[in-house]
Amino acid sequence: MYLDNLVGVFGHPVAENPTCVMQDAAFDHLGIRWKYLTIEVLPDDLEAAIRGMRAMNMRGINLTIPHKVAVIPFLDEVAEDAKLIGAVNTVRRDGDRLIGENTDGKGFLRSLREDAGVDPAGAHVVVMGAGGASRAICVELANAGVASIALCNRSAERGEQLAGHLNAHTRARTTFHRWDAPLTIADEVTIVVNATSIGLYPDVDECPLVNLDSIHDGQVVCDVIPNPPDTAFLKQARARGAKTLDGLGMLVYQGAIGFRMWTGQDAPVSVMRSALEKAFA
């Protein structure tokens, strides 16, 4: 079959990456002859893989572990927000130039606004975790005008580094809290984000170390985990009256932003979400 354009994901390991499911569903729905490839790329081969992407005239790629930072030297340009995050998860082609972007935090922010109906401006936020997802989410929340971010992480070194980075480069007041005991959510907090992998399939019964009685109505509790979409943590939060936001929306919306960057067309987000729900089921 002749294809007009190729996109894909580079990672290691990458076999279980679900992005191809939603992107190919979107291409098929719109009737465009594009294909999304899932490509295993070892760390030592990343530079060669980027050269291959150029040679094959691929329209773009996603990057996943362990390439989100390592890819930066091989690109022609990196968007300002991706520089602030310090990682690239999406590359788009602009003529002969490869531009690095980060759509993870943007996907979360769109899901927060559109799915939960929450404007984060002026909010007090708790974010659990200090990895790549947390970094992208914190930067986008700070850019959206949150009043404060309480960053909680087991590793003090990584958490303090991220808090310092946010205080130096954004207007959000960020504090670091060592997360070695059950976390009590302050009454003023209105947005709680689990940006860790706790509760990810197959460990579906696990919950972040949180004092669940400190969760109440008036809060929106978010989980970045897409599989299962309704995590044990979200179920516990909902039982206490909180509004909940699953990680499937973030995954779909970040993919939809990349889809638009590559194709110039609006992504059929409902089709993409439905494809993922079927795959995860």
Residues marked active site are found at 68
Q: How far is CA 154 from the centre of its chain?
A: 20
CA distances (Å), origin 255, targets 5, 36, 90, 110, 131 = 17, 12, 9, 12, 20
- Check residue 252 and give left, alpha or beta (phi > 0: left; psi -120 to 50: alpha): alpha
**142 - beta bridge partners?**
none
Q: Following CA atoms 113, 144, 134, 164 in sequence, which dihedral angle do they give, to the nearest 10 degrees?
A: -160
Q: How far apart are CA 67 and CA 64, in angstroms?
A: 6
Residue 151: which of 93, 167, 50, 265 has the closest Cα?
167
Instruction: Give how far Cα 15 sits from Cα of 40, 48, 195, 248, Å.
Output: 7, 20, 22, 19
Angle, CA of 207, 119 and 62, to the nearest 5°: 65
